[in-house]
Structures are given as structure tokens and as C-alpha cells.
Structure 1
Amino acid sequence: MHQPSPTLPKPLPAPRQVGAVNWIGLQTLLGREVRRFLKVWIQTIAAPVVTTLLFYAVFALALGGVVRMVGDVPFLKFLGPGLVMMSIAQNAFANTSSSVLVSKVQGNIVDVLMPPLSAGELAAGFVLGGVIRGLMVGLVTAAAIWVFVPLGIHNPFFILFHAVMAAMLLSLLGLIGGIWAEKFDHMAAVTNFIVTPLSFLSGTFYSIDAVPELFRFIAHLNPFFYFIDGFRYGFIGQTDGTLVQGVVVLLAVNAALLAVAMRLLSSGYKLKA
């Protein structure tokens, strides 16, 4: 009787070689972050636009038809870019902070830590997701405000540069906050005591040239002032600060926050049991 020959075991597949940058992993993480907020676009994109328009409507109604000027620019035209930038910053922060914190609370942060992703690749995936959401919300908000008051464009480079820098800064701050926070109360404290005060005291609703000297000095210590001032300059050609100084401050703050975020990710601070 013929005996069947034994089946030889299949050779194990060769391990996948990952180069200097794990592009597949980075693309996957970024895709997850983008799909995460697009799936609930009414909450993550439409709702912030409505909130910003309500701010704009309140100020327009408060003026009661009076044309108030800030320098040579009507107040509502001065206000528009500040509101757009505020929506960019707040939503970039919300995206990274909620993504990390929810993953920690639900216990699935391990799904991000297990793949062969370096600290830089993890930071890039989370931060780019926040930047994309912030810019998308800002673009829709600007289009909505444009219906009521033509903003005009004075310098598109400054608009794009400060929008990206602001979204990156708040995404990094949200990433750091999400890593540090252990529950939603901690994240709410960061939002209420850091992000919101810095946003409202940055010249979003007023020119800092109109405030006392002490508050003007404090405003120049606030990095939020520089990306709002530079962003507004891109629309109206009017600035309260020094543009070059603003660019340097934003680059330095982003570099410092990136270094902190990568350090936390590489050490596994409050991420690994």
C-alpha cells in the first residue's frame, strides 16, 4: 500500500524590513486619525463652525449697526480672522487630546504602541491628524464668515504659515495633555485653565494696542498672540506685533513642544503599564 509522503512545513515568511521611516505605519495611523473625526463630521467640523458664527453674530448685534474701526479696518473685518484662527487652534487641540485620552481610558492605546512606530512617527501621525482637522474647520469657518463680510487676502503666505503653525502648536499641546491626563477631568482642566485663557487673551477680539501697557506686555508673552496676529495680517495687512519675531517664537515653541512630546512617547510616560 502506497504511503503518502509527509507534508513539509511551509517556510516562515521573511520579516518585513522597515526603513528609516515606517511609512506604512505612519500612513495607517494618520488615516485612522483623519477617519476618526470625519466619521462624526457634524460634531467635529459643522458644530465648531456654528459656534464661531454665533460669536460673530453676537458681536455684530452688539454693535447695533455702528461701524466701529480698528485702525483703518472695520471691526467685523478685523474680528473675522481672529475667529477663524480660534476655531483652527481649538479643534487641533481637541483632536489629539481626545484621541490619546480616549485610547488610554478604553485601554486600546496598546494598539498604537505595539506596532514598530518610533516616537517621531507616533508624534507625526497624531499631530498631522490634528493639523488636518484644524485646517479643515478653519477653511469651512472662513468660507462661512466670508458670506457676511468679505475678508480679502493681503498675503497668502502668512495665512498658510500661521494656520499650520497654530494647528501644529495646539496639536502638540493636545498630545502632551492627552498623555499626561488620566481622566477627562484632567483634560478639562487643561482646556479651561490653559487653552481657553490663552485664546481669549491673545487679541482675538481686540487690538492689543488699545489695552494698558501691562496687558500689552503680557500679550507678547502669549504664543497664541503671534499666530493670531500673523494670521490676521495675512488678511487685512495690519499687525500689532513684529512679524519676524512672531515667526521665530512660533518655530521655537513648536520645536520645544515637539521635543517634549517625543520624550514622553519614547519613555512611555503614563502610556505603558
Structure 2
Amino acid sequence: MPTRAAPRSPLPGLGLSLGTTLLFVTLIVLLPLAGLAWQLAQLSLADYLRVMGDRRVLAALRVTITAAAAATLVNGLGGLLLAWVIARYRFAGRQVLDALVDLPFALPTSVAGIALVALYAEDGWIGSLLAPFGMAPAYTWYGIVIAMAFTSLPFAVRAIQPLIEELDPAQEQAARTLGASDTQIFAQVILPNLMPGILTGTGLSFVRSLGEFGALIFIAGNLPFKTEITSLLIMIRLDEFDYPAAAAIAGTLLGLSLILLVAINVLQTRLYRRFERGS
């Protein structure tokens, strides 16, 4: 009996595909990281601790991390709600709303920063309403949170939306038949299935916020010890030709981001395995 030939792959063979992939990753990812690592190697441990122990650096890290955490919390809640509305409801303008979610990806971050200042400065459309109460967000920590939330929102929405679309309505109907309330259905049926997406979306949102630059420098105010962010401080150190110090700060942010991404992948894998065992 003749054997059936294996279907041909539309891509080149393993050797060529793997070689091209490795070349691409090397040029785009590994070489820049190698340059950063080389700059870090110029620092001794004592020099690294001196750079990172500077009061200005610590203040910039505090501002950046706390603002990124707040923006991630906003995107975690708002992204879940927005993804739910887009995936579960049909209404006029739904496709427009769906497209607007990706606008921060397409919009240059500097343009986003200018637009946010026009909205939230004391003479802006929204800021002018809040200014009499001393609450205009521009040039404050709150303005940084708004800019971070704007630029990282698509990560939260797009990580959760596919999981909502894949939910089995029969599970919700079965839970309602058994007498479960809407709150119980959401907490015990829906939310566990969405946790991998929520975890991934909020994690990516946080990492994206840590490295944001263009949108923040316009709305942050850039006051040392108050609204100065780490990405701006890195640029300042580069302008001063203090490359090792800039590398130390950038390497710290990179290390924090890598640790978070690895933790997200591990937790996500465990959650999927738990769901597979439960099913």
C-alpha cells in the first residue's frame, strides 16, 4: 500500500528557516542587549551600587514604578470592562471602538504626549475644569499615570478579549440553572478562565509603562525628585556622556522587566495546566 507523502511546508526547510530566525533575533535583540551588557561590564559592583544608590535615581525609580503600577491597575480594570463590551455586545460604533483600542500602537508617543497636555494642562479642555480645585493632572504624578495608561491599554484589552470570545455560554447557563447569582457566575466561572489573559495583559502593560518615554516627557514636568522618570534620566546621563551610569539604570529596568516576563510565563503555564486538569 503506497504511503501518503507528507504535506509540503509553505516555508523553507528547517535549516534555512532556523538560520534566518537566529540572524533576525541576533541583529534586532541580542546585539543591542550585548551592547548594554558591555556598558554594564565597565562598572564594578561598587560603582553600580553608587549609581543606583543616588537619591535622584532612587526618586526617579520610585516615580516610574509607582506610576506604572497605578496605570496597570487602571488598565486591568478598564481593559477587562472594555474587552467585555467589545466581545459580548453588538451596538452601533462597536467596530470603531474596537479599532480605537489599537490607536496608541499607531500614534507616535510624542504626539500622544502633546495631545494629553492639550487635554489635561490647566488651560486644556479637561484640565481647565479641574484647575480651580488644584487637580489639573498635567506636570504631576497623576499625569504620568494617565500617559502610561493610554500607551499601554491595548496590551490589557487584546490579551483578554480573545478569552472572552472563547468562553462557553453553556457553562454560564448551567451555573445560572443551579441557582448561582451573576456575581457568583463571574467570580467562579468567568474570572478563572480569564485570569491567564488578565495576568498577561497587566504584566505587559506594566513592562510597557516602565520603558515609556515619548508620551511622558511632555506631561510629566520632569522635575527631579518629583516627576522625573527613569527613561528621561537615562537620556540625561547619555547627554552627559556618562554611558556606564546610563547603562546601569537601563540594565536595572531591563532586569526588572525580564524577571516580570518570566514570572508571567511561569504563572500562565501553571494556570493553563490547572484548567486542563480541571476540565
Q: TM-score, normalised by structure 1?
A: 0.33
TM-score calculated relative to the size of structure 2: 0.32
